[in-house]
Amino acid sequence: MIQRTNSDLDLEERFTGQSNRLPQKDLAQLVDAYRDLLDGIGEDLDREGLRRTPDRAARALEFLTQGYRQDLDEIINDAVFESDASEIILVKDIELYPCASIICCPLSVGRTLPTFQMEK
């Protein structure tokens, strides 16, 4: 497997997340699962407003879980560096989107994270 760095990705791929897409077979399985769920609760899958819902829901879940398919080295992009600081360093306004399994919906939260100087 060829290792790619962030700079190796073309601009469109970097901003659209194409490298984090699910394989088509897996996406099709999600679409089928959503169809089964809707059918299981008695929905008419041929109803005009519902025809494309399984596809939309599968693509939404693909987007919400793209972090599972991301490469940490690509995200960090060599942004780790040495520091002489001995105090706590606060990193503010980091956007986090945890996916709460009990509601199957992402929660948008902003956090301030304390980081500590680690000895190697």
Domain harbouring 59, CATH code: 1.10.286.10
Range of 4-18, 83-97, 102-116 with top mean pLDDT: 83-97
Letter string b/e over residues 84-100, b meaning 16 or more CB atoms within 10 A of that residue's CB: eeeeeeeeeeeeeeeee
Residue 120 lies in a domain: no
Instruction: With H, G, I as helix, E, B as strand and everything else as coil, classify residue 73.
Output: helix
Residue 42 lies in a domain: yes
Question: pLDDT (tens digit, 9 = 90+) per residue, 52-74?
Answer: 999 999 998 888 888 888 888 88
Residue 87 lies in a domain: yes
Residue 27 lies in a domain: yes
* Average pLDDT of the segment spanning 90-116: 64
Residue 1 lies in a domain: no
Quote the pLDDT of residue 37: 95
Top-confidence residue, 64 or 50: 50
Quote the pLDDT of residue 91: 76
Q: How many domains does the chain have?
A: 1
Euclidean distance between CA atoms 36 and 86, whole angstroms? 56
| Domain housing 88 | 6-115
List residues bridging with 89 in a β-sheet: 115
Mean per-residue pLDDT of the chain: 75
Indicate if the alpha-carbon torsion angle 31, 33, 34, 38 is positive or negative. positive
